[in-house]
């Protein structure tokens, strides 16, 4: 079921993508923009708490960063491939490689600290300091 190439959107923003084991290389590793992947499971309370943050960032950074989720229960191969041992885990990919990672629920400013250094300076919605 998870082997076909499908990118679906979920969440209130409509911008949050759903990644699968079968299409991970194509959707994430071969992407032309940075990709933030939220490894989660439906039974995980902290994962659910991260949902609104991930959805908000997906909407704010649409076209600049691909942001999506991968259900580790349904897609265990990718979680094992990247040695995800606890969820939620956020991995940021750029050029097919992991460039940052965090484990555990965190507020939006912490997630932004992962994303912002990997964007072109004109792509960030925040003011210059």
User: What is the secondary structure of 98-122 as a DSSP string?
Assistant: EEEEEES---HHHHHHHHGGGS-GG
- pLDDT value for 9: 47
- pLDDT value for 125: 52
pLDDT in tens, 23-41: 999 999 999 999 999 999 9
Q: Are 57 and 111 in contact (CB under 8 A)?
A: yes
Q: Can you tell me whether residue 89 is helix, strand or coil?
A: strand
CATH-assigned architecture of domain 15-116: 3-Layer(aba) Sandwich (3.40)
Domain boundaries defined on the chain = 15-116
Whole-number Cα distances in Å, 72 to 78, 115, 124, 127:
8, 22, 30, 36
- pLDDT value for 14: 80
| Catalytic residue ranges | 44, 47
- For residues 83-104, average pLDDT: 96
Q: Token digits for 127?
A: 């003011």
Ramachandran category for residue 72: left, alpha or beta (phi over 0 → left; psi -120 to 50 → alpha): alpha
Residue 10 pLDDT greater than 70, yes or no: no
């Amino acid at each position: 079921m998870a082997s076909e190439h499908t990118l679906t959107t979920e969440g209130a923003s409509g911008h949050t993508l759903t990644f699968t084991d079968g299409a991970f290389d194509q959707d994430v590793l071969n992407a032309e923009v940075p990709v933030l992947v939220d490894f989660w499971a439906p039974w995980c309370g902290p994962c659910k708490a991260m949902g609104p943050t991930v959805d908000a960032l997906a909407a704010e950074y649409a076209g600049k960063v691909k942001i999506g989720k991968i259900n580790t229960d349904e897609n265990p191969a990718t979680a094992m491939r990247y040695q995800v041992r606890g969820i939620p885990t956020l991995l940021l990919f750029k050029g097919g490689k992991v460039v940052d990672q965090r484990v555990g629920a965190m507020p939006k400013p912490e997630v932004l600290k992962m994303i912002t250094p990997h964007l072109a300076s004109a792509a960030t919605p925040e003011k210059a300091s």
